[in-house]
Structure 1
Amino acid sequence: MTNRSLAGKTPPTTTRLTGLLAGLALGAALLAGCSSEGASTDCGLDACTVTFDRGVDARANILGVEARLVETQDDVATIEVGGEQLSLTVGQQAADVGGLAVTLDSVTDSEVKVRIARNGG
């Protein structure tokens, strides 16, 4: 009978668990890769909903571009996405900007909610 020592070796279960945790941490970092000022974001892999606060310089960096609330008037919001300005109304078909589909979800007295998605996502 051979008596083997496990000294210096990591058990396979520990290695798999470490890999799983590292993968989960990387996924969370990718989803949290957005930043905002005067706005909140709710992002998935291919789309983000950005809720801009009205009355402040509101902007968010999501999906590799900056989105900024320029102005609102009644139910029309002017949004700048990736340097291009769009005037959108609630219910309007998505506008295409550099491979992104931009939709105005809602406008209230206190906030403007916009959905920005990769085309096809």
Structure 2
Amino acid sequence: MLISKPRRRIAAALASAVLGLALLTGCGDDVSCGLDQCTVTIARETNASVDVLGVEAKFVSADENTVTLDVAGEQIQLTKGQQAIEAGGLTFSLSSVTPDEIQVEVSR
């Protein structure tokens, strides 16, 4: 059975939409996602955490340039302006540190 061109286009558009939604799964209020990257904002307080792309990231400590996070049970240290670090199947890099919160870029 042949599928007409309009039906193929609709099927392709639907498949693209489903894939896009799958990539955004796990993004909450403190997470802003695009197709291949999320920006995560975490409060600088004890027990603050966020779920991003199915992985939990917990705030551990921070100073003005370095942040320590617990990602999927592994502690990582991010330094502003330094190379990204892989943990929990994702790549993390530090965007900013303020007295109230940290902002981290996360990608697959």
Scaled by the length of structure 2, what TM-score is found?
Answer: 0.71
Question: Within the alignment, does 1:117 sit opposite 2:101 as a pair?
Answer: no
Give runs of aligned pairs for residues 1-121 of structure 1, distance below 5 A. 12-36=4-28, 39-45=30-36, 47-55=37-45, 57-62=48-53, 64-97=54-87, 99-118=89-108
Q: What is the one-letter code of the residue matched to 1:60?
A: D
Contact 2:81 2:94 in 1 (8 A): yes
Cα 1:27–1:104 change in 2 (3 A) is same
2:82 alignment partner, SS class: coil
Could you say what the CA RMSD is over the residues aligned between the two structures, in angstroms? 2.7
2:99 alignment partner, SS class: coil
| Aligned equivalent of 1:6 | none
> Percent same amino acid at aligned positions?
32
- Partner deviation per Cα, 1:14-63 (whole Å, 9 max, x = no partner): 412431331132122122212346x2232433x3332223347231232x
Aligned length: 105
Scaled by the length of structure 1, what TM-score is found?
Answer: 0.65
Once the two structures are TM-superposed, the CA of residue 115 in structure 1 deviates from its matched residue by: 1.9
